[in-house]
Amino acid sequence: MPLYLGTWEIIASKREQCMTYFASMTPEDDLKESVGVNVLGRWSDVGTGKGAMICEADNYSNVASWLYNWVPMATCTVKPVVDDNAAREIILKQKPSYTVDYSHVGDEPQEGETLFLINYKFNKENRLDGNNLFANLTQEQDAGDAGNCRPLGRWHDLGNGSGLAIAAAKSEVDLYRWAFNWASMCQCTVVPVLTDKLAREVISSKPDFQQKLLLLKANMAMEQLKASQTVELLNSGSSVEQSVSA
């Protein structure tokens, strides 16, 4: 089943509406709108209206159908990626000596932890060396590289030497110590992020949230009514034209 990395950025003029609508949704709503898509994890940077998600689907049309629901409010991008295990197999041209566990991708942060989204891209001149160094890490070296950070998942675009990782950390020192291990080979950007659950809690906890939600629902109902009336008008006009022609 193909694996996809998706990113989004909410259109500035739609930020309040989009976040309000998103915060009103439940996990059941998420499942209803993403039929045929297995969402492994989704993380929001509320301050910028951006975020990322990892999903898998047999048919990309299902992913496109899901994201199309948000196109009026956000710009979405999608690309195929591979996890550590598949990346190592591709680079080494054989099965790696160990496999990385991806069963905690969607975890909430534990007590004292913050989730961070790390984007990396190898310098062009270091891409092959960087990939080979990564692929040949032993299990002990891989764990030591992350140090006190708790990696939840890492995904790679081997076509351009970039990727994304989600990790939990209790200290910015631990986080940047890990990033600094690769400083001679790649550029890393790090932002704190929230899971769906936490993002919804933050947004819905604001004193004016219910008022914004009621206004949003009223506007959506009005837009639906206008669209329905427009369709009826067009249909009636078509009927008149057919009668005249007859």
Residue 51 vs residues 3, 56, 76, 208: alpha-carbon distances, Å:
17, 17, 10, 24
Residue given tokens 């047999």 in the structure block: 58
Q: What pLDDT does 235 receive?
A: 84
Q: What is the Cα–Cα distance from 34 to 228, expressed in whole angstroms? A: 25
Tokens of 66: 């899901």
Note whether 166 and 198 are within 8 A (CB). no
DSSP state of 123: -
Q: What is the Cα–Cα distance from 15 to 26, expressed in whole angstroms? A: 19
Note whether 213 and 20 are within 8 A (CB). yes
7 half-sphere exposure, CB direction, 13 A CA radius: 13
Q: What pLDDT does 241 receive?
A: 55
Tokens of 181: 């291990």
Could you tell me the pTM of the whole model?
0.89
Q: Residues 6 or more apart from 92 whose CB is under 8 A from it? A: 135, 136
Q: What pLDDT does 39 receive?
A: 98
**Which residue type does 132 have?**
N
Q: Please list the pLDDT of the chain residue by residue as tens digits (246 residues).
A: 999 999 999 999 999 999 999 999 999 999 999 999 999 999 999 999 999 999 999 999 999 999 999 999 999 999 999 999 999 999 999 999 999 999 999 999 999 999 999 999 999 999 999 999 999 999 999 999 999 999 999 999 999 999 999 999 999 999 999 999 999 999 999 999 999 999 999 999 999 999 999 999 898 888 877 777 888 878 876 654 555 455
DSSP state of 108: P
Note whether 164 and 50 are within 8 A (CB). no
Residue given tokens 């933050």 in the structure block: 202
Q: What is the Cα–Cα distance from 165 to 84, expressed in whole angstroms? A: 10
SS3 state of residue 207: coil
**Which residue type does 166 have?**
I
Tokens of 141: 């070296």
Tokens of 49: 């209206």
